[in-house]
Structure 1
Amino acid sequence: MEVVNAVTMAHHFIHPKLSTANLVIDATAGNGYDTLFLAENTPKKTTIVSFDIQAEALAKTEILLSKHSLLYKVRLILDSHANIANYINQPIDAAMFNLGYLPGGNHLVSTSPDTTLQAMTNILQCLKTKGLITIAAYPGYEHGRVECQTVHEYLTNLNQKAFTVGCWSMVNQKNNPPVLYIIQKNKEWTA
């Protein structure tokens, strides 16, 4: 049985949206596991666009996808997810964020509240009606706590008619466990 955590729950929530997806975003490639999950669970015609600011992260993602013969479905972009509007101008079916730093990498290089908010805003504007975004946030360290709080405040203030926003977390875990946000777009919206 798979261990239940914020990432596995993100996969659980987003999985039903993938069988008919045309365009899916991994806003934070990291070690490539979310990108691989998206590639494995979408039709052959689906395009997955995966962003990261670290060449090391994209190299790991490329190797992982190649091992599974799924690199053909994925466009790897070495840039901040804040700049998604420079690359995407079509409807998005689903998107995933796994915030924080690259596991096994430099902990000083991390997602930031400002770039994450910009990426979220850009994706929300392009998200199809009934599209879904998952955001795994990590309040267990100072920078992650600030980013999680910023994301929470932003999502709390989204128009409730345009979006449904949920929050999942482990309540019996110590040391500020990860928090998963799930956002579904209910109707068109502009920032």
Structure 2
Amino acid sequence: MSKLLRTTVVAHMLLREMVREGDVVVDATAGNGHDTLFLAKLVGIRGKVYAFDIQEEALKKTERLLAQHNCLAQVEFIHDGHEKIGQYIKEQVRCVMYNLGYLPGGDKSIITQGTTTISSLEQATHLLSKEGVISLMVYSGHPGGLSEAEEVECFVKSLASPPWHVLKWQKINGTQSGPYLMLLYKMVK
């Protein structure tokens, strides 16, 4: 399969154009650490990554991965839900990444929830700097995923344009339960 057909690759490709060295960014769902590592490399040692996860196992995996790549210095690990983003972050951020669903290889009964994701998104929209971006990887094909996807879609459709530009990357033929990407770009003059 072409890399461009993988939504995670597309997300990284687009964010690579928007996030710069020295930026402050958030991985709202650290998971296995791949997005946290990606962001840590983008912002470099002068930048900062806040990495959230409710599962201690996920944060430990992420920490090990970052240590292997010498990227620990710029990351602050937060063992809490992303719905508390505003309690931990008081500065403007350039990017917030979400990878919704469950921890790959982990307990599939522990999933992100629409109510907490919407709460987090509301806070993230206020923390985002002008020309900042929110990346949402949405998985609707697992129990609870469709409900969360519907809530997220409703929320992003309610964002005023301008300043918000909401884009969606999704395969439109075949199964509709595969992952898709939404980018929320804040364009303020």
Could you state the TM-score of these two structures normalised by the residue count of structure 2?
A: 0.94
CA distance 1:141–1:185, change in 2 (3 Å)? same
| Equivalence for 1:73 | 74
Q: TM-score, normalised by structure 1?
A: 0.93
Secondary structure class of the residue paired with 1:51: strand
How many percent identity over aligned positions? 34
When the two structures are aligned, how many residues end up with a matched partner? Answer: 188
Q: Which aligned pairs between 1:1-191 and structure 2 lie closer than 5 A?
A: 2=3, 4-174=5-175, 176-187=177-188
2:23–2:48 CA contact under 8 A, matched in 1:
yes
Instruction: For 1:129, give the aligned amino acid.
Output: K
Q: CA deviation at 1:63?
A: 0.3
CA contact (8 A) 1:14 1:133 kept: no
SS state at 2:20 partner:
coil
Contact 1:50 1:76 in 2 (8 A): yes
Instruction: Tell me which of the two structures has the higher relative contact order, counting C-alpha pairs closer than 8 angstroms and 6 or more residues apart.
Output: 1
C-alpha distance in 1 between matches for 2:176 and 2:187: 34
For 1:99 and 1:6, the matched residues in 2 are separated by 13
Q: CA RMSD in A?
A: 1.5
- Which structure 1 residue ranges, 4+ long, deviate > 6 Å from structure 2? none
In the alignment, structure 1 segments of 5+ residues that lack a partner are none
- Distance in 2 between the 1:184 and 1:175 partners? 24
* More moved, 9-18 vs 146-155: 9-18
